[in-house]
Amino acid sequence: MAAITADFIAEQNRPLLAGHREDFEALAHKLARGGRDPEALVAEAMAFAVAVPSWGVGTGGTRFARFPGAGEPRNIFDKLADCGVIHRLTRLTPTVSPHFPWDKVKDYDELREAAKRHGLAFDAVNSNTFQDQPGQPLSYKFGSLSHTDKAVRQQAIAHNLECVEIGKALGSKAITVWIGDGSNFAGQSSLARAFDRYLDSTAAIYRALPDDWRMLIEHKLFEPAFYSTVLADWGSSYLAAQQLGPKAQCLVDLGHHAPNVNIEQIVARLSRFGKLGGFHFNDSKYGDDDLDSGSINPHQLFLVFNELAEAEAAPPDFDPAYMIDQSHNVTDPIESLLSSAEAIGGAFARAQVVDREALAAYQKGNDVMEAFRTLRQGYNTDVAPILAKARIEAGGAADPILAYRESGWRARKAQERRPPRAGAGIV
Ligand code: PSV
Ligand code: MN
């Protein structure tokens, strides 16, 4: 068992370096033959970052069961320690997206300092009006920001305003608002009026946002409401963001769409109109499965990053927030996040490999097969040596999961942290 220090990482890397150099040289030659600059790709990979969700380092679950793992984080300070490990090994995840009230503490300056000690800062804060909290005066059983009762809406607005205040203390610049509001019966709720009430409530939050903040509006097709959801799709999200103003943008959680929806096209649309605020990366097969990014459909992840690479040249302030949102039910959450960060970084790097000029020319000339082959060449490139070089040069691990296992972190935490409570899991 060893602390995950720079020396420890260097020691773990040593036996892997010769093989890594060989792999990188081989790839560099191949890329150079195709007119790509391998070192420029490494530099781009080094500049890429994705935020880790504070809730992702705990074991998730379903409404049927949760199977807690040993040494789980007990509170946000433990969560930061785990997030620090992920960043130290990958050099890809310098920020954490916190969720309130789950991560509530008394002293937010202390929390910010604790994050700093782990080499971390805070990304978007997330509000939670999809659960009732102990002692909360009014219930969200029938909704929150769109509730028929003004007092409940006010309570939900006040919680979001508190999140903005917390975020200011933490150095965040965005709030992500996802609500579970909706209905389970035809006729239960006025579909039109529920959206009006939602717009009214979010306008009150919007008015309190500092000028350099963004409000990220997250839609979701269904669940917990199974007949209608107030903010079910990117169309509703876009309408809300448009209505609210320039600081409001749409957040695309990859698991929140109907099966087979062309998510990359949604990304292209939103970015074209300056409304692409950010992502919650995960993978899914059936619905909001919250599986590890790229574990089922890595090609879709690549196609999303291809649209982002296309969009990057467009609006001057294009700066989507990249965040992970996954539920780790059967793995060590740290290992899942190490692997997911690699998958997301890999999709980004593959999209950078694509020869955009050639692609545009083939598209213009309607050369379908060559356009397809140009895009596919990026996807088929094994970018692992680029990512490894970016990591190693930044002080990270050649093989993050191997180094993590060697460190004995989880066994150590199992001794230090008391066993967590069992119960149902993630929303
Ligand atoms: C809802 O399913 C969601 O995707 C939202 O982002 C929540 O904040 C998160 O999951 C955690 O429940
Ligand atoms: Mn999400």
Question: In the 3-class helix/strand/coil scheme, how is 202-245 assigned residue by residue?
Answer: HHHHHHCCCCCCEEEEECCCCCCCCCEECCCCHHHHHHHHHHHC
Residue of 63, 220, 427 best suited for mutating to test ligand 1, as the one with most atoms within 8 Å of CB: 427
Tokens matching residue 293: 């990014």
Q: Per-residue pLDDT for 51 more than 60? A: yes
Residue of 79, 100, 177, 325 best suited for mutating to test ligand 1, as the one with most atoms within 8 Å of CB: 325
288 residue type, one letter: D
CA of 31 to the centre of ligand 1 (A): 39
Ligand 1 — pocket residues by CB below 6 A?
55, 126, 178, 218, 220, 253, 280, 288, 325, 426-427
Query: In what helix (H) or strand (E) does residue 23 lie, and over which residues does it extend?
Result: helix 17-33
Q: Are 108 and 80 in contact (CB under 8 A)?
A: no
- HSE-CB at 117 with a 13 A cutoff on CA atoms is 11
Tokens matching residue 295: 């574990």
d(CA 209, CA 203): 10
Q: Residue 271's closest CA among 307, 306, 230?
A: 307
Instruction: Give me the helix-helix angle, 38-47 and 333-353, nearest 10°.
Output: 140
Q: What are phi and psi of 280, to 5 degrees?
A: -115, 110
Block residue for tokens 């490999």 = 353
CA of 280 to the centre of ligand 2 (A): 5
Question: For 183-194, how does the pLDDT look when each residue is reduced to its tens digit (9 = 90+)?
Answer: 999 999 999 999
CA of 135 to the centre of ligand 1 (A): 23
Q: What percent of the chain has pLDDT over 70?
A: 97
What's the mean pLDDT in 315-336? 93
What's the mean pLDDT in 332-338? 98
Residue 53: Cβ within 10 Å count: 25
Q: Are 293 and 282 in contact (CB under 8 A)?
A: yes
Block residue for tokens 């209608």 = 228
- CB burial class (10 A; 0-12, 13-18, 19+) of residue 3? exposed
Q: What are phi and psi of 324, to 5 degrees?
A: -100, 145
Q: Per-residue pLDDT for 279 more than 90? A: yes
Q: Per-residue pLDDT for 297 more than 60? A: yes
Q: What's the pTM value of the predicted model, to 2 decimals?
A: 0.96
Q: What percent of the chain has pLDDT over 90?
A: 95
| Partner residues linked to 378 by β-bridges | none
Q: Per-residue pLDDT for 426 more than 60? A: no
Question: For 218-230, how does the pLDDT look when each residue is reduced to its tens digit (9 = 90+)?
Answer: 999 999 999 999 9
22 residue type, one letter: E
Block residue for tokens 């690479």 = 309
Q: Are 59 and 67 in contact (CB under 8 A)?
A: yes
d(CA 349, CA 325): 20
Q: Give Dmax (Cα) for the chain.
A: 66
Nearest ligand atom owner, CA of 163: 1
